[in-house]
Amino acid sequence: MKISCIAIDDEPLALKQISDYIGKLPFLELVAKFSNAVKALQFLDSNQVDLMFVDINMPDLNGLDFVKSLEQKPLLIFTTAYSEFAVEGFKVDAIDYLLKPFSFDEFSRAVSKVKKQVQLIQNQTELINTNDQFLFIKSEYKLVRINFDEIRYIEGMKEYVRIHLTSQKPVMALLSLKSLEEKLPSEKFMRVHRSYIVNLEKISVVERFRIIYDDKTIIPVSENYKNVFQEYLNRNFME
């Protein structure tokens, strides 16, 4: 199991320490590090990671505002020299809070909580049973059958997914969007954004790379998926 992560800290020594600590744990993979949250925001707009280490006190955009601005939040560990931010940190669902200066043991204990959470998600993923017409997923301690024809779109929400259906209220499940994408038939479903998978058969209106289901539901097609989505439109477009 590999847990992909990024580190964000405006202090060079603190950023190096986190990077060194990450390097000591073989199940962690540091994919990028940033000295400010603005650059990290740009990176996350087109990349997905499992975990973020985020300093709270940073210029331009502080760590709390950065996390609140994310549509889809990876798992999160805050790092800061100011203990008064702890409560605010947990309000945005941080897994843990490391008070600087922190030791490798403290770092390792915090990361072990993340590892348990990721393993829980993976165990839930294994409970997906599927064929070419429907799937069963575990939701609220029950196995729920979901017919593919009833799915409008699927929304990724941190470690959960919300499956929006035509005939009933959305179904929530502790799964990653990626794991669910791998189980869905590709001729019917397409990932169009890091937070969304759509049922191609349910699309009725597309406007400027926005999929419009109704006045309240507009799903953007992100830059990474525009070419594939445009190819689909070209194949099904009649002049």
The string of pLDDT tens digits covering residues 69-83 is 887 778 889 998 876
- Any residues with CB less than 8 A from the CB of 203 and at least 6 apart, and which? 211
Asked whether the whole model's pTM tops 0.75, one would answer no
Report how far residue 212's alpha carbon sits from residue 120's, in angstroms, rounded to the nearest whole number: 34
Of 120, 77, 121, 118, nearest to 99 (Cα)? 77
CATH number at residue 13: 3.40.50.2300
pLDDT band at 224 (very low <50, low <70, confident <90, very high): confident
- Any residues with CB less than 8 A from the CB of 155 and at least 6 apart, and which? 161, 162, 163, 164, 170, 195, 196
* DSSP strand pairing (51-55 vs 3-8): parallel
Domain total in the chain: 2
Q: Are residues 95 and 155 in the same domain?
A: no
For 83, the domain range is 3-124
Return the percentage of the chain with pLDDT > 70, whole number.
Answer: 87
**Final residue of a structural domain among 72, 90, 124:** 124
Cβ-contact 208, 200 below 8 angstroms: no
C-alpha atoms less than 13 angstroms from C-alpha of 33 in its C-beta half-sphere = 18
Greatest mean pLDDT range, 130-134, 142-146, 169-173: 169-173
Q: Are residues 9 and 77 in the same domain?
A: yes
